[in-house]
Each structure stands twice: as C-alpha cells, then as structure tokens.
Structure 1
C-alpha cells in the first residue's frame, strides 16, 4: 500500500490564514505577559541600546526606505514560495536534484516554507531577522544552483542576486521604525523600566518590621 504525503493545508491561502492567526495570537500573548523579573533587568538594560538601534534606525526617511524594501522583497518572494509549495515534486526534480542533496522533496518543502513564511515576517516586520535570514539562505542556495548549472550567466543570476542583496540588506540594517518589531521592543523595555519603580513604590508602602 502506497502512502501519500499530504500537507495539513493544501491551499496557500489557508496556510497563510493559519499563519497570520498564529502571529496575532503570539502578539496578544506577548503583550499580556507580565514584565520581566528583576534578574533580567540588568541584561535587558545592557542590550537596550544596540537592540533599539537595530530595530529603530534613526530617521523617518531611512525607516520609510526600509519599509519599501521590505514590502518589495517580501511581496515578490511570496509568489516564489507559493509556486514551490504548489508543486514541490517538480521543484525537487528540477532544482534540488541538481544539487545532489539527499531527500530532495524535503528540501523542496523547506525552501517553499522558508520563502513563504519568511516573506510574511519581512512584510510585517515581525521577527524580521529570522524572516530575512530565511530569504537570504534560500536565495544563496538558489544563486549557487544557478552558477553550478549555468555558470555566471547574468540573465539567469540577476533576479536571484537582487533578491539576495535585498534580503541581506534587511538582515543587516533591521526592519526600521515602521514594523511590529520596533513597537514590541519599545513596549518591552518600557515595561521592564517601569517594574523597578513599581517595586520601589510597593516597598515604600510596606510597613516596617
């Protein structure tokens, strides 16, 4: 008896709906969590400056430019991820097999989900480094595959290099101010800074032994 492997969501629209619902639930859970404990205040304070510098680049113009880059790369890459997941066996036979990797169908699914989920993370600016890293990795492998099979052909490489360069730029520069990451980071550090003041107020009101 031959077993057929089926994905939980065959339709990319159903998959994206489930993914976005999970993201919204995660954001709501994150905002409802209590502030971090006192033991984490010192490490968070040490990380505050570099993290906020990465997530909230100074200047509205630079953040707007990053937003345009995120939308351009993310929205266009969505198509490629959906295309791979629509016929993973064809992608595995045409592209992955040429790399001589084991389990080509597995890597076909991995590439498709990396591009699909990574694109949404980049578009939303949520966990942007992870999304940009996923896109950068798949595009680096795609560039290697194109060079391996067609050499340094500019007409074959140009689109892959553009996606690779854009994804890498987002990974290094950060999402900018117009992103969920920037808002969540600000909220996290504001609450972590407020907690010591709240503890001090409670200690002051407590009766002395």
Structure 2
C-alpha cells in the first residue's frame, strides 16, 4: 500500500471521527431535554435544526425514503466512490503530466494548480461519497471535475460516445446523488436522524400538527 493510500485512509477515518464527535456535542442537549432536566444552551447545529424549515428539509432530503431506495443510494455512492478514487490517485501521482496533457490543452491558467485541485477533488469527493459524509460537497466535487472532463473530450474528440460514456456515467451518478441525497445508510443520514429528534420549543411546537409536535417534529 502506497503512502498516498495510507494518508487517504487516515483522512477518511478522521472525517468519520469528526462527524461522530460533532454529533455527540449536540446530542448532550437532546438527552438533557428528554430527561426533563434544564438543558444547557443548545449547540449551533441543534439551534439550526430547531427551525421547522430546516427540520422538514432534512427529513425530505435524507430520511424520506424507504429501505430499498436507501440501499440503492448506498450502492450508487460506494460504486462511484470506489471507481472514481483511483482517477484522483493517478492525477496526484504525476500532477505535472496531467497538467501538460489535459489542463494545458484547455488553455486554463495555472495548469499545475488545477491538476492538483482536480486530483484532490476526486480523492476527497470519493471519500465523502463512500462515507455519506457532507455528501452534497463530495457530489459537487466529482461533478465539477467530470464536467470539465466532458468538455475536454468534446473539444478534442467531438461527440464520440465511446470517449464520453464513462465521464457521462460518473457525471450523471454524482448529480443524481447531489439531488437525491445519500439516504439513511450514511453519516449524513445518521446525524440528521438524531438531530430531528430534538424537541421543538413550545412556540414552534404549537404551530405544528399534534402528531408532529408530540414526536418532536420528527
């Protein structure tokens, strides 16, 4: 295993630990509220999620699908992430060669810098998709690099389906994940499921239907 792959694994593990730590910081407020004790001042994430519009948006984007849909999104995330990550590794292995071969032909400024950006976007974006952590950012990172790749292929080879097919599949899959979300089987889904259990303030709970207010708006 190369040093780069070890660093990638460490980065993915660190991101997952940070997500769990951030969730734990906010969970203490939820546990105190449920026990009837006076909770401390809520964390910033809990405060944001207490807004009905944000709560409803999280439920629809991350929690509003069935088991089969969540399983399908998991398969799509992992498949795109595992297959895309080696493209980023190849770019980072020799960024100068990628800059000379691809970026320079697009006449973009700072080709070496953009080569590093493309490689890191694909590696980091792949990890975010695999973990389902900050999934929209990961999907945007991959969609951005694939959009530029599609433009490069059209510029150099025209509308050649055999050249474009792989790029279009990655681009379409990442855009689909951006619009659909990662599903429940993800760090984003687990965090959202915990956060939406936070009890609503009385003024907000009174404006909701009885069934929603009783469940904390979840």
1:78 is aligned to: 85
CA-based RMSD: 2.1
Counterparts of residues 56-205 of structure 1 (less than 5 Å): 56-190=63-197, 192-193=198-199, 196=201
Give the gaps of 5 or more residues in structure 2: 30-41, 203-218
SS at match of 2:184: coil
State the shift of 1:169 in Å.
Answer: 0.5
CA distance in 1, matches of 2:119, 2:199: 41
> In structure 2, how many angstroms separate the alpha carbons of the residues matched to 1:119 and 1:101?
25
> The residue matched to 2:109 in structure 1 has which SS?
coil
Residues 58/28 of structure 1: CA separation in 2 closer, same or farther (3 Å cut)? closer
In the TM superposition, residue 45 of structure 1 has moved relative to its aligned partner by: 2.5
1:23 aligns with 2:15: yes
Query: Does structure 2 conserve the Cα–Cα contact (< 8 Å) formed by 1:52 and 1:182?
Result: no
Residue 37 of structure 1 deviates from its aligned partner by: 5.5
SS in 1 for 2:185: coil
TM-score normalised according to structure 1 size: 0.82
Report the 3-state secondary structure (helix = DSSP H, G, I; strand = E; otherwise coil) of the residue aligned with 1:178.
coil
- 1:204 is aligned to none
Q: Secondary structure at the match of 2:51?
A: helix
> Match for residue 206 of structure 2?
none
TM-score, reference length from structure 2: 0.79
CA distance in 1, matches of 2:16, 2:199: 25
Cα offset for 1:33?
1.4
Secondary structure of 1:177's aligned partner:
coil
- Paired residues in the alignment total 186
Using the TM superposition, give the Cα deviation of residue 41 of structure 1 relative to its aligned residue in structure 2, in angstroms.
6.0
CA distance in structure 2 between the partners assigned to 1:97 and 1:162 by the alignment: 25
